[in-house]
Amino acid sequence: MTDIKILVADDHALFREGISLLLTSKGGMRVAGEASSGPEAVVKAAELKPDVILLDLAMPGGNGIDSIPRLREGSPASRIIAVSSHTDELMIREVLEKGAAGYVCKDDAFSEVYTAILQVLEGRRYLSPRVADVIYSSYLEKADVPVDGKNPLLLLTDRERTILRLLCEGKYPKTIGLELGISRKTVDVHKRNMMIKLHTTTDAGLIKIGIESGIFPDSDKVIRT
């Protein structure tokens, strides 16, 4: 199996070295290159064609956000994960709109970065919990209409409905992960996404909506469109 190639773009050598050691220790991943500025990252990405680019948004040589379109142009298949100490909503949205697949905070645990890499390689987007909370809070503030107008289950993907059904059966995320062959982290990501879609902030809220909306096909509740 070919190692996952990663480009680490950050102007702090200590961060680059530290993240390189941690990634290498996981096995199956290798840091193919490093960059200390936006322009250098663009050149390295075009040359190395990495699977994932960890991009610091505050490097010399221009706004890191502005590097995202050029990185995608030079290496279209690369998945970009923004790494920043800022959790400003407008910045997060701009980063995602320009094409980043993930956004993590600089002071997040390494496990968040590792999870983000695995998620984006599966074609998903990944926001670390603090970043997701910012977007979630903003979404709730701007939502004018409750979900009640149509069956909430229609807003969910097949995978999300499966996880919600298992939650409603009283199963814990770890058990759900084992049953579906995915990690607990992935289950938690799906739960966060469901909470955003269904306008709730707790597992109890998800379960209540699931049961009331007819998550169990053999119950007397019917999923209505």
pLDDT on residue 195? 87
Position 23 pLDDT exceeds 70? yes
* The token pair that represents 167 in the structure block: 């939650």
Decide whether 4-127 matches 143-212 in CATH topology: no
Distance CA 32, CA 91 (A): 28
Its CATH class, for the domain covering 4-127, is: alpha beta
Bridge partners, 223 (sequence order): none
Collapse the DSSP code of 54 into the 3-class scheme (helix H, G, I; strand E, B; otherwise coil) and give the result. strand
At 133 the pLDDT is 81
Burial of 152 (0-12, 13-18, 19+ CB in 10 A): buried
What Cα–Cα distance (Å) separates residue 193 from each residue in 117, 160, 200, 217? 18, 8, 10, 23
pLDDT at 199 > cutoff 90: no
Residue 201 pLDDT: 78
Distance between CA 13 and CA 11 in Å, rounded? 6
The residue among 164, 168, 194, 162 whose CA lies nearest residue 180 is 162
143-212 CATH, one of 1.10.10.10, 3.10.20.340, 3.40.50.1000, 3.40.250.10:
1.10.10.10
Identity of the residue numbered 107: D
* pLDDT for the residue numbered 137: 72
Q: Which two tokens stand for residue 213?
A: 């909306």
pLDDT score at 45:
97
Res 188 pLDDT > 50: yes
In this prediction, residue 220 has a pLDDT band, given cuts at 50, 70 and 90, of very low
Q: What is the pLDDT of residues 30-72, one digit of tens each?
A: 999 999 999 999 999 999 999 999 999 988 776 788 899 999 9
| Domain locations in the chain as residue ranges | 4-127, 143-212
- For 138-166, what is each residue's pLDDT tens digit? 766 554 444 455 788 888 888 999 999 99
With pLDDT > 90 as the criterion, what percentage of the chain qualifies? 46
Q: What is the pLDDT of residues 98-115, one digit of tens each?
A: 999 999 999 888 989 999
Task: Please classify residue 207 by burial: count the beta carbons closer than 10 Å to its beta carbon, then call 0-12 exposed, 13-18 middle and 19+ buried.
Answer: middle
